[in-house]
Chains A and B, each alone.
Chain A
Amino acid sequence: MPSVFHQIDWFPLWLSLRVAVLATAISLGAGLALAYILARYRFRGREALDALVTLPIVLPPTVLGYYLLVLLGRDTFLGRGFEAVFGFPLVFTWQAAVVAATLHSIPLLVKAARAALESVDHNMENAARTLGASEWRIFFQVTLPLARRSILAATVFAFARALGDFGVTIMIAGNIPGRTQTMAVAIYDAVQSGDTLLANLMVLIISALAIGILYWTNRLQGERLL
C-alpha cells in the first residue's frame, strides 16, 4: 500500500486546489459586484445580464470551452491583449484553467448572492441611510453581514464546482501532465490508460472532499451565525 502512495503524482490535486481557490476568490469579488448591481439597480438589459451570467450553468461545458477558445485564443483580440500584458499566451496554461473554473462557478454565486441581497429587509438599509451611513458603509456593515450566510454557502458550492470542472478546462487548458492537468482531467487520464488503482484513489479523495464540503455548508446554513 505505501508504495501506491509513493507512485502517486500529487500535482493534479494541488493544481486543482490552487485553481479552485483562485477561481472562487475571483468569482466572489466579481459575483458580489454583479449581484449588487442586479439587486440594486433597475436598468435596461438587467435581466439580459442576469441571463448572460447564468448561461454557463445551461451550456454544455465543451460548448462553453469552445466559446472561450474562440474568444481567448492566440489570434483573438482578448488573447493578444493577455499576451501583451503578461508576456505569455493564456490558452493551455494553468491560468486558463482558472478562467474555466471561474466561469463555471460564477453563476452560482451571482444567483445566490442576488437573492440574498434582495432578501435583506430594506428597512434595515433605509434605517442606516437616515443614520447618515454612506452606500458603501451600508453594503459592508449592514447588507453584507445580513446576507453573509447564504453568500458563504454559495461560495462553498462555487468552490466545489470550480474544483470539479472538466469540460471547459480540457478545452482551453488542455491535458498537459505537470502543467495543466487538474484532478478531474487526471482521473479521466488514469481511466483511459487503465490505471484503475490510481483512478479509484483520486475518485475517493475528490469524493471525500465533496462530502466534507457538503457537510460544512449544511452546518453553515443550519447554525445561527449571528
Chain B
Amino acid sequence: MRQRLTVCRRRNGPREQTEQGLALLELTIRKHFPAAGSSPGFDLDVSMECEAGVTVLFGSSGSGKSLTLDSLAGFLRPDHGRILLNDEILFDAGSRICLPPQRRGIGYVFQTYALFPHMTVEQNLAFGIKRLPGLERHRRLHEMMEVFGLTALAARRPQDLSGGEKQRASIARALIAQPRLLLLDEPVRGLDYQLRMDFYSVLRSIRQKYRIPILLVTHDVTEGFVLADRMVVYQAGRIVQRGVPDEVFYHPQNAAVARLLGISNIFTGTVEELDSAADCSRIRTAMFPVTVPYLPGRLRGDRVSFCIPHQHVLLAHPGAAKGERGGAREGESGGENRIPVRVVEEVSTPTAVRLLLRVQGGPDTKDGNPPLQIESELTRLVYKRMGVAKQKDWLVTFPKDFIHVFGEQAE
C-alpha cells in the first residue's frame, strides 16, 4: 500500500544500489497549525520511507519541507503519526512517545549553519562528542577536520570563516557524532557556483561513506536533480509526488508540480481520437492539435492537461519536410508534431538560448484568450547553426513520446 521508493542509477557511473527496499526511516505525521493573525492555518500531512542515500524534499517555500525536518529532529511535536528510525520509535502519538532531540541521533545542518560564534571551529566540532574517551575524541576530531579541510582553520571563530568554510564546519559538526540520519536545510543557499559544485561532491562522498538516509531540503530544481537518489515533491503541506528525479521531472503528477519544476509548456485540450493499435491519441487545444501516445483509460471528449519540456521542443525550417535537428526523426504522420510559430523573445544563458514562440494560425485570439506561446531551449551551437537570430518564422517540432499527459483530469 505504501509505495517503496527505489534507488536508481542515473548518469555518471555506477552509484551502486543501496540496500534495496530496506527503509531505515519511516515517517507518517500530521500537524495542524491554527490560523493566527494574518497567516492562514496550515496542515502538514506527510508520510514517507527513506533508505540510505539522498532524498531531496522539493517544493516552494512554505510547503512544509522544513517543518518535516523539524518534526524529525524533535523540535516540533506532530499531532498524529509515528516516526521510526532503524526500527526505533522516535515519535508515536498513539503511545505518547516523543524522544527529545538529544536522544534521536540525528544530525541537522541548519540553513544558517548555526555554528556557535563563541567557540572555535575545533570547539564547535568537539561539542557533540564530549562524552567520548579522550583518545577517541581526539582521533575523530582530527580525522573530521582533515576530511573537511578544516585543519588550518581549527582555531578560527565562525565569523572569520567564508560561507563555504562555515558550511563544511557545520556538516562536519553534524557528522562527527555519527548520526543515524542527516538533515540538511537548503545547504547551498547563498553560495556561489563553485561552492555549490564543491558541496555536491562533498555530499556525494558523504553518501558513499555513511550508509544513512540523508534528507535535503531545496527549492532549486537543478540541485534536486543533481543530488537526489529520490525526490519527494511538496505542495501545501502534502507530498504530491515521489520518485527518482527523472521520473518526477519528465512525468510530473499535475500541472502544479510541472510549474514547480520550471516546465512552462503546459496546455489543456480535449481528447479527439484514441488509437491503441498505433499507440496514438490526438488532443485538440485552443489553437493546435497535438499527437500524443495512446492514453489508456481516457475517453473521447475528456479534458486533459499536458506538458512539453522545453528542452524537447525543436525548431525546423518552415517548408522543410524533415526537422533540422537529430531529434526530429519521424515524419509528420508518425507522431511528430509540427506547429508554425514566430519568435517573440529570446533569453540567453551561458550555455543555451531560451526562445519564447507565439503559435501562428489557427483560430485567432478573438475569444479574448491570450495567444498561445511555446517555449523552446536550444544549445548555443544549434542556435548559431540554424541561424535563429536572422529568421523569425519557424516550425516547432516535438515527438509525441516526449509529451507528458497529466494523470489528473483537467478542470
Contact = CB atoms under 8 A, between A and B. Distances in A.
* Interface size of A as a range: 10 to 19
Interface in B42-97: 73-75
A121 B114 contact: yes
Nearest to A121: B114
A193 interface: no
A225 to B, nearest CB: 9
A146 B118 contact: yes
A146 B114 CA distance: 12
A128 interface: yes
Contacts of B108: 126-127, 130
Given A126-B108, A127-B108, A226-B157, A132 B177 contact: yes
Nearest to B110: A123
Contacts, number: 61
Interface residues of B, number: 27
Nearest to A225: B118
A134 B108 CA distance: 17
B164 interface: no
Nearest to B107: A130
A123, A127, A146 interface centre (most CB from chain B within 10 Å): A127
A130 B117 CA distance: 17
Nearest to A128: B127
Given A145-B118, A146-B116, A226-B159, 11 more contacts: A123-B114, A126-B73, A127-B173, A128-B127, A129-B73, A130-B106, A130-B107, A131-B173, A132-B102, A132-B131, A134-B102
Interface of B: 73-75, 100-104, 106-108, 110, 112, 114, 116-118, 127-128, 130-131, 157, 159, 173-174, 177, 179
| 7 A-B pairs closest in CB distance | A131-B128, A129-B101, A123-B114, A127-B114, A130-B108, A145-B118, A123-B110
16 contacts: A121-B112, A123-B110, A123-B112, A127-B108, A127-B114, A128-B127, A130-B73, A130-B101, A130-B106, A130-B128, A131-B127, A133-B128, A134-B102, A141-B127, A226-B157, A226-B159
Interface of A: 121, 123-124, 126-134, 141-142, 145-146, 226
